[in-house]
Structure 1
Amino acid sequence: MANFFPRWTNWLPLKVAICGVIIVCGLTGATWYYVTPKYTRVGYEPIQPVPFPHDIHVSQLGMDCRYCHSFVEVAAHSNLPNTQTCMNCHSQVQKDNPKLEPVRASWKTGTPVEWVQIHRTPDYVFYNHAAHVNRGISCFSCHGPVNHMPEVYHAKPHSMAWCLECHRHPENFLRPEDQIFNLDWKTDDVKPATFVAKYGQPSDATEDLSKKKKLSQTEIGETLKERWNIRPPVNCQGCHR
C-alpha cells in the first residue's frame, strides 16, 4: 500500500513537540524577567502635579523626612504631606513661583493635590512602616537615596525575595536609631568605643569591638539585632495576613 505522506513527516510530531517546549520555555523566561517588580517597578518615575526636588529640600535645606511624612514613626502607613505642610513655608518662600500654583489652588479650594503614588504595597501584603523605622531600618534601605533625587523614582524592587533578603539577614541593614533618617549615613561614621558603650556587643564576639578602628556593617548589625531582639518573620503569615 502506497504511503500518503512523505517520509519526512514521520519526524513532524517530534519537531512540533520540540518547538512547543522551546516556545513555552521562552515565554516562561520572558515572563519571569519582564513581569517581575525589578523590571516593572525599578526606575518608575511619574510626572507629579508639582515638581518636588527632594535633593534641594533634604540635602541642601536640611529638612527631615518626618516633617512631611509625619506618621512614619507611629503608623503602619507613611503619609504624604497635606497642603498646610507645604504652605507653612511656601506662603512666604517662592510664593509666586508658577510651579507651585497647584499647591496654592489646593490651599484656596481645600481640594488635595493629586500626587501620583510611586511605591504601592499589594493589598495582600502587610507592611508596617513604624515597626521598621523604630528598629533600625532606614528609609534608604527601601527607598534608596531619596535625598539626592531631583524627582523621586522607584529605586528598589520591593519583591518578596527582596524583602526576605532583609528578613533573613537583618544585620546587613540595621543601623543606630538616631541615624534612621540620615540617608547619607555610613558605617565609617560610627565610633566603636561610643557605639559599644551604648549598645554593647554580641555575646559571641571574639574580640573587644570598642578597641577596633572601625566597625563593619555586620558587626554593627549583629550588635543591634541582639540588643533589640530582632527576629523578623520569614514565614508566609508574617506578611500575608
Structure 2
Amino acid sequence: MQIFRPGADTIARVLLASCGAIPVLLVGLAYGIMSSPYATGENVTPNQPIPFSHEHHVGGLGLDCRYCHTSVEKARFAGLPPTETCMTCHSQLWTNAKMLAPVRASLAQHKPIAWQRVNRLPDYVYFDHSIHVAKGVGCTTCHGPIGQMRLTRPAAPLTMQWCIDCHRAPEKALRPRDEVFDPKWSLPKKQEELGRKLMAEYHIRVDHLTDCSVCHR
C-alpha cells in the first residue's frame, strides 16, 4: 500500500531547500533595505525653515563654501552660518522677502535658525572634515553636485562600506588642495594617476585607513 503520493518526495526536497534558502534571502533583504535610500536618506530632501539654494548662492553667485562653513578647515564640523552671516547681504538685498522672514526673526529674537541636518552619521562614528579637506577630498566628493542643488539633499549613502571603499582606494577621489572647494571640479581622465601622485605628496598611507579606531573612537 502506497502511503505517500508520487510527488511527495519532490515536495519534501523543495521544503528542505526552502529551509536553507529563506534565512539567506531574509538576510539579503535586510541588507538591501539597510543600504537603500529608504534607510540612508540618500537623495531625500529634508524640510528647512528657509528654502536656501546652493544653486543660487554657490553655483550662481560663486560664494566660497568657507564663507558660510567657516570651521571646515580646522574642526570636525564644517559649521553652520550664524544669522549675522545671512544678514551681511540680506540687510541690503531682498529685505522684505517673505521667505526670509525666519532670518529676520532670528536676528531680532537672538535665536539661531533651526536648520535640519542634511548629512547625518551615527553617534558612534568619528568624522573630521578638516583632515579630509587637508588631504585633498573635495566637498562634492561626499556632498555631490552641491552647486546645482536648489534644495540641499544627501548625495551619498554615507554607509560604512561607502567610506571603506574610499579609504581603500583614495586615489580615485583626491584632487589638488586648491580645487577642494570648487563645486565645478570634475575627475580628469587620468584621475588614478593624479591620485597616486597626490597620495605621495599628502603622505597618505592606506595600510591603517581601514583600522576600526580610525572611525570608531
Same-fold call, TM > 0.5?
yes
1:237 and 2:186 are equivalent in the alignment? no
Measure, in 2, the Cα distance between the counterparts of 1:153 and 1:72: 19
Measure, in 1, the Cα distance between the counterparts of 2:108 and 2:16: 67
Partner of 2:35: 36
Question: Could you report, residue by residue, the CA deviation over 1:155-186 in whole angstroms, capped at 9, with x for unpaired residues?
Answer: 11111111111111111111111100002113
Partner of 1:61: 61
Offset of residue 228 of structure 1 = 1.5
SS at match of 1:7: coil
Structure 2 stretches of 5 or more lacking a match?
A: none
Partner of 2:181: 181
Offset of residue 26 of structure 1 = 2.9
Partner of 2:195: 221
Measure, in 2, the Cα distance between the counterparts of 1:172 and 1:217: 6
Question: Could you report, residue by residue, the CA deviation over 1:31-89 in whole angstroms, capped at 9, with x for unpaired residues?
Answer: 11111255522112111110001000001101001111110000011111111111111
- Aligned residues of 2:83 and 2:113 also touching (Cα < 8 A): yes
Which residue identity is paired with 1:177?
R
Which residue identity is paired with 2:28?
G
Pick from 4, 7, 16 the counterpart of residue 4 of structure 2.
7
Matches within 5 A, 1:39-188: 39-40=38-39, 41-187=41-187
Which residue identity is paired with 2:62?
G
Offset of residue 7 of structure 1 = 3.3
Question: Could you report, residue by residue, the CA deviation over 1:110-151 in whole angstroms, capped at 9, with x for unpaired residues?
Answer: 121111111111111111100000110001111100110001
- Aligned residues of 2:59 and 2:183 also touching (Cα < 8 A): no
Measure, in 2, the Cα distance between the counterparts of 1:82 and 1:69: 10
Offset of residue 23 of structure 1 = 3.3
Partner of 1:25: 24
Measure, in 2, the Cα distance between the counterparts of 1:127 and 1:117: 15
Matches within 5 A, 1:189-228: 216-228=190-202
Compared with structure 1, are the counterparts of its residues 70 and 156 closer, same or farther at alpha carbon in structure 2 (3 Å cutoff)? same
Structure 1 stretches of 5 or more lacking a match?
A: 189-214
SS at match of 2:141: helix
- Aligned residues of 1:38 and 1:159 also touching (Cα < 8 A): no
Q: Which runs of 4+ in 1 moved over 3 A?
A: 10-23
Measure, in 2, the Cα distance between the counterparts of 1:231 and 1:165: 14
Which residue identity is paired with 2:92?
Q
Measure, in 2, the Cα distance between the counterparts of 1:239 and 1:47: 29
Measure, in 2, the Cα distance between the counterparts of 1:234 and 1:183: 28
Q: Percent identity?
A: 39
Which residue identity is paired with 1:35?
M
Measure, in 1, the Cα distance between the counterparts of 2:145 and 2:187: 16
Aligned residue pairs, count: 212
Offset of residue 15 of structure 1 = 5.6
TM-score (norm 2): 0.89
Measure, in 2, the Cα distance between the counterparts of 1:151 and 1:85: 19
Measure, in 2, the Cα distance between the counterparts of 1:37 and 1:158: 11
